[in-house]
Amino acid sequence: MKSLKVVSNYVKLNDSDLNTQASRVLQFMTDNANFPTPVPDMAVYGAAVTDYAQKWEVASKGGSAQDVKLKNESRVVLIDLMKQLAFHVNTVSKGTGSMLESSGFRLIAPDRNIGIPHTPERLRLSDLELSGHMRFDFDAVTDAWEYEYTLSSGVDEGGQLLWGEVQTTTKSRSNELSGLLPGTIYRLRVRARNGRGRSDWSEAVSRMAR
């Protein structure tokens, strides 16, 4: 499965778009629980974003040649810090789409020849040694970046399954479920995701937790 990543090189953005993108990353990455120890530190990155924004504003409003030079120098520093931060995001996220999206960086566009992934097949639930633990496996999907799954342990008044929060995984094998209530029947479904979209949900499988 191809790993999902964020763009790390923003040198081709014009000044206005760079300012917007850099500010977005600052907003999304500040106090982001997914990245508790960002590299570079957000104080350093934030200072570079502010410095560039200020110098770009001066240069764009009829500034002198020296003002333009200072803006360009600040731009180089900011782009380098964005590259470092994007590398950190990619390393920590390990292809997890929800983490990558939470950073504010742009996701790398998928290959145009890639379509929406097909629905995962041969979904299986099995017991693990520990009580309240199960694992699930399914056949890997070509061109999927990650998979989403959700559990159900009950129905509504109309008899429809009540599905829980959607979780993500980058693996098709040995995915562990924990905190299950022994004696309860759980149903699980999975779908594949890439930059083109999401597949349909798989047929649900069920098993009683022990």
Centre a 10 Å sphere on the Cβ of residue 138 and count the other Cβ atoms it contains.
22
What SS3 string covers 68-107? HHHHHHHHHHHHHHHHHHHHHHHHHHCCCHHHHHHCCCCE
User: Residue 169's pLDDT band (boundaries 50, 70, 90)?
Assistant: confident
| Separation CA 16–CA 132 (nearest Å) | 53
**Residue 38 in contact with residue 99, Cβ under 8 Å?**
no
* Residues whose CB falls within 8 Å of the CB of residue 7, separated by 6 or more in sequence, listed in order: 86, 105, 106, 107, 108
Angle, helices 65-93/15-29, rounded to nearest 10 degrees? 40
Segments of the chain assigned E as strands: 124-127, 134-137, 146-155, 161-163, 167-169, 175-177, 185-194, 197-198, 205-208
Please provide residue 76's backbone torsions phi and psi, each rounded to the nearest 5 degrees: -60, -45
Q: What is the arithmetic mean of pLDDT over 77-106?
A: 93
Cβ atoms within 10 Å of 183's Cβ, excluding its own: 8
pLDDT at residue 110 greater than cutoff 90: no
Burial class (CB in 10 A: 0-12, 13-18, 19+), 17: exposed
For the whole prediction, is pTM greater than 0.75? no
**pLDDT at 112 (0 to 100):** 60
Task: Provide the pLDDT for residue 200.
Answer: 96
Please report which confidence band the pLDDT of residue 101 belongs to, taking 50, 70 and 90 as the band edges. Answer: confident
How far apart CA 45 and CA 51 sit, in angstroms, is: 10
| Residue whose pair of structure tokens reads 């014009």 in the numeric block | 14
Question: What does the domain layout of the chain look like in residue ranges?
Answer: 15-102, 124-208
Instruction: Provide CATH code, domain 124-208.
Output: 2.60.40.10
| Contact predicate 117/143, CB 8 Å | yes
Say yes or no to pLDDT of 127 above 80: yes
* Mean pLDDT over the full length of the chain: 92
